[in-house]
Structure 1
């Protein structure tokens, strides 16, 4: 089934043009591009001593709430041939599911709304739906950015971002989607006193000083200190998952190096190419790495082994925090 879904997806991508504001599951785009665009925008407003207002919109049960009739309508409006619409309809016709729990599973029941979970085709179908539903309300990137159901709206004034949020809510909810007021959050960059709050349908949107956007922490002051600490923590979490391999004296340093680069270093480097690091933060990352490598080789600082030898034994190069790992 997944192979057939991939074939259908490839055919749909040839005829459907998704807006530039959509970064999710698009060719030559990734989370890093969206994170970088947001950070650059925030840094420019911070350096210019101007306020930037950002609302991070959360859609309630996004994939599960897509009305099937709305999906067919959006596909046709995007220029999909009727034969491909019927192919997708056939995939969803008479779809049934069960719920598993500790004591067994329920009887089968029909699923008449939403996209298939775990389907290879669902992300692109969702991109088609959001592309059509947001056609009248979205602005140019980076003022509006979407990564699947993660939406960020930016504006120079609180009143404007509040108005844009309401327009998004109306555009989505009139077509069967729902904005989660409790999970939608607002952040003001370079905030002055008394900048106020944003409201959605009379309810105050939660105001935050930091937000985890696509796995990377952005702060209202434009700094990246907390993101560096979380990258270090992510590295240690990855190290603990494979410590049995990294600390096994029977396993060669070459194998340990491969495991380390794949599991630990990848977690530590995620999103850092979008961050301007200071010397202190670079040092913080390198100290954490050296601790992990010393643990892996079973040596301590009392053994008086040079850092260059530690790195050379396990990973062969010094970590470069610009994420350009030359020489590997």
Structure 2
């Protein structure tokens, strides 16, 4: 299956970066995201998490203890994001209301068309997910 990418203007990309910086600053100040969250936080790459897990397993092994682990890989995670839940979580985090409204307008009422050999399809709505490619 193919997932379309979102082609944004330079101005939209700049606005997205400014909004992301404000949201991240707010979430860090409020300590909303747990320290154990890795993968999209500066200084918290998935490589760091692998090293952390390896160290925990090693300590358990040296102490004669067993180590269990549950791994979760959500298929098509970005395609199935519930947009209303993202907006609700941002609202509940006490983010400035105007930023929540901007994110809501960015996520909702999205649509797409496909062009093949110069022929454009009809417009299709995107009720779930978040844009990829920005």
Q: Name 2:24's counterpart in structure 1.
A: 13
**Structure 2 CA distance for aligned equivalents of residues 98 and 43 of structure 1:** 51
**Structure 2 CA distance for aligned equivalents of residues 102 and 7 of structure 1:** 36
* Offset at residue 105 of structure 1 (A): 5.9
SS at 2:71 equivalent? strand
- Contact 2:83-2:108 at 8 Å conserved across structures: no
**Structure 1 CA distance for aligned equivalents of residues 75 and 18 of structure 2:** 30
Q: 1:96 to 1:50 in 2, by over 3 A?
A: same
1:4 aligns with 2:15: yes
**Structure 2 CA distance for aligned equivalents of residues 27 and 48 of structure 1:** 32
Q: 1:49 to 1:98 in 2, by over 3 A?
A: farther
* Offset at residue 47 of structure 1 (A): 2.1
Give the length in aligned residue pairs: 119
Q: 1:80 to 1:50 in 2, by over 3 A?
A: same
Match of 1:87 among 82, 96, 102: 102
**Structure 2 CA distance for aligned equivalents of residues 31 and 104 of structure 1:** 42
* Offset at residue 38 of structure 1 (A): 0.6
Structure 2's unaligned 5+ residue stretches are 1-11
1:108 aligns with 2:123: yes
Q: Name 2:78's counterpart in structure 1.
A: 63
Structure 1's unaligned 5+ residue stretches are 120-328
* TM-score normalized with structure 1 length: 0.34
- Higher relative strand content: 1
- Which one scores higher on RCO, CA 8 angstroms, separation ≥ 6? 2
* Offset at residue 102 of structure 1 (A): 8.7
Spell out the pairing of 1:200-215 with structure 2 (5 A cutoff).
Answer: none
Higher-Rg structure is 1
1:75 aligns with 2:90: yes
Spell out the pairing of 1:1-328 with structure 2 (5 A cutoff).
Answer: 1-16=12-27, 17=31, 18-99=33-114, 106-119=121-134
